[in-house]
Amino acid sequence: MTFALALEQLLNGLQLGVMLFLMAAGLTLIFGVMGLINLAHGSLYMVGAFACATVAAWTGSFWLGLFASLACAAAAGAIVELLVIRRLYDRDHLDQVLATFALILIFSEGTRWMFGSFPLYLDIPPLLQGAVPLPGGTQYPLYRLAIIAAGALVAFALYLLISRTRLGIRIRAGESDREMIGALGVDIRTLYTVVFALGAALAGFAGAMVGALQSVQVGMGEPVLILAFVVIVIGGIGSIKGALLGALLVGVVDTMGRFLLPKLFVLFVPPSQAGMIGGALASMLIYIVMALILAVKPRGLFPPAHA
């Protein structure tokens, strides 16, 4: 194992972590402000990917597709909140889980009806094609570095939004005391719609960015959703800071575990068995890390102050 190869895998872990942050930030905002468990968040990730792939195919522009992913995912989120989610705020979490699981099926079958079962493919824009030299003589794709940079910019923008704007003040107040901000004259229904649309837009943006690395297909959001829930549990439900650090931790641990564990087991068992054992253990590694963190900090690494 060379330093350059290890650095490449570390960057892959950071890129995965950034994508998980974009998913988890929306999830944690929605749960923190609304108290809603939204299993359909992965479907909004899929909506963004399909919107980007479709518009990019029509226009030949990845950047127009990226804008479309934000707009379509935000619009889909706002419509879902107005028609379905708004009726679930006073219901228990089981009703929320059942209703949002039904939304997964609706989105999946609706997407399959519109686009068919075959995957779509999204080309990396010419501006971001190519590779960047790494220490050690290897090269790393420029597009993956752009994803890391875009995630860092989104994290900084979210920080400014939450800490420096009037909307951010209302979001933080909504996390602390929903009834009080309603009594002070804030339109809580509109706030909920805006927060849900914002979370949906972040998920759609993540789907569009990842769509250029893998195929765009029905059901692509569900595996990412599971990891996003792990992220917000590790980081602290309702905490953007926790979502960022939890996502980076999960991304790096998952990627490096899949890279290093098979090599480690080669020292003890035959290579064929080492790959199987290492791969199986690597798939469980993030859940083991989550359990260890929760054993020490039951509310996550950075629980909100009001938790």
Residue 109 pLDDT class (50, 70, 90 cuts):
very high
Per-residue model confidence (pLDDT) at position 305: 62
Between 183 and 36, residue with greater pLDDT: 36
Q: Which residue has the higher pLDDT, 147 or 185?
A: 147
Asked whether residue 17 carries a pLDDT value surpassing 90, the answer given is yes
Closest CA to 88 of 80, 78, 99, 73: 99
Instruction: Determine the pLDDT at residue 71.
Output: 95
pLDDT in tens, 110-140: 999 999 888 998 889 999 988 888 887 788 8
Question: How confident is the prediction for the chain on average, in pLDDT?
Answer: 87
pLDDT tens string 40-54: 999 999 999 999 999
Model confidence pLDDT, tens digit, residues 152-206: 999 999 889 888 888 887 777 766 666 677 676 777 788 888 889 999 999 999 9
pLDDT for res 106? 93
Question: For residue 3, is pLDDT > 80?
Answer: no
Grade residue 260 by pLDDT with cuts at 50, 70 and 90. Answer: confident
Query: How many CA atoms, within 13 angstroms, populate the side-chain half-sphere of residue 242?
Result: 25
- Confidence (pTM): 0.89
Query: In 222-246, which positions are buried (b, 16+ CB within 10 angstroms) versus exposed (e)?
Result: bebbebbbbbbbbbbbbbbbbbbbb
Whole-angstrom Cα distance, residue 234 to residue 246? 6
> How far is the first Cα of the chain from the last one, in angstroms, to the nearest whole number?
44
pLDDT for res 101: 92
If pLDDT is split at 50, 70 and 90, which confidence band does 249 have? Answer: very high
Ramachandran class of 215: left when φ > 0, alpha when ψ lies in -120 to 50, beta otherwise: beta
Round to whole Å and give the CA distance between 131 and 16. 18
| pLDDT score recorded for residue 307 | 47
